Amino acid sequence: MDEYSNKFYKKQLETVQKNLVANGFKNTVIFEDTNSMVDYVTSLIGTGKKIGIGGSQSVRLSGLLENLKSKGNEIITHTHDMNVQTRRNVWLAAQQADFYLASPQAVTFDGELIFLDAYGNRVSAIIFGPSKVLLICGRNKLVKDIETGIWRSRNIAAVKNNIRLGRENPCVKTGKCENCNSQQRICNILVVLHKKPAFTEYEIMLVNQELGY
């Protein structure tokens, strides 16, 4: 990406940062690249902590989890071979962690955060429970408004995740949301954070690179 495009996206990220702060998310930081974000979060969390995470590809693709594990932190997350009860136990433990890592599917220029979930474990955790919620957002998640953010969540993020998970939902065949009734559907719960919830502590990392879905 050329330097002028980077400067263009930096201006957009600064607008989003200003509005997130105005919406109560005071700890919102911009990073020029993924590596600097990973170094910052690793230093912020330190060692010997319990860290919950859902299925965030922004977090997993960044290399952050490997760094955190190397510092002696415990990662609490589900795996695909777990039965329902085991998953529930892991999700509940993740909600009580020292830190919870997640990524929104979209962030509006007005500083609103959009999350689309399959089961509710992630959106529950980002609203209330963990000691601190860390939200990581690449510049590819920026959208003009909530309507566009919901469209992006359903037609880009969800379709890519369906492909990744091997779900046989209609969107995998057409490349766009079909608002299906499939039992494997992952677009079940929509949460928008218009303002910061009063009793949850957040830190938001805006990254001037494409990251995740």
Span 173-199, mean pLDDT?
95
Burial of 182 per CB tally in 10 Å (0-12, 13-18, 19+): middle
Per the domain annotation, does 19 fall within a domain? yes
DSSP-based three-state secondary structure for 27:
coil
With a CB cutoff of 8 Å and minimum separation 6, the contacts of 151 are none
Per the domain annotation, does 45 fall within a domain? yes
Check residue 36 and give its pLDDT.
Answer: 97
Put the strands of the sheet holding 113-117 in their side by side order: 142-143, 106-108, 113-117, 189-193
Measured CA to CA in angstroms, residue 89 lies from 3, 78, 130 at distances of 46, 9, 15
Q: How many domains in the chain? A: 1
Per the domain annotation, does 27 fall within a domain? yes
Span 159-164, mean pLDDT?
94
Per the domain annotation, does 168 fall within a domain? no
Bridge-based pairing of strands 106-108 and 113-117 is: antiparallel
pLDDT by residue (tens digit) across 121-156? 999 999 999 999 999 999 999 999 999 999 999 999
pLDDT by residue (tens digit) across 52-82? 998 888 888 899 999 999 999 999 999 888 9
Per the domain annotation, does 146 fall within a domain? no
Which residues form the domain of 90? 3-141+192-207
Check residue 56 and give its pLDDT.
Answer: 86
DSSP string, 42-75: HHHH-SS-EEEE-S-HHHHHHTHHHHHHHTTPEE
The yes-or-no verdict on residue 1 having pLDDT over 80 is no
The model's pTM is 0.94
- Which CATH number characterizes residue 45's domain? 3.40.50
- Which of 125, 105, 119 lies closest to 51 in space, CA to CA? 125
pLDDT by residue (tens digit) across 36-54? 999 999 999 999 999 999 8
Per the domain annotation, does 172 fall within a domain? no
Per the domain annotation, does 74 fall within a domain? yes
DSSP-based three-state secondary structure for 88:
helix
d(CA 96, CA 131): 7
DSSP string, 188-210: -EEEEESS--TT--EEEEEESS-
d(CA 94, CA 125): 8
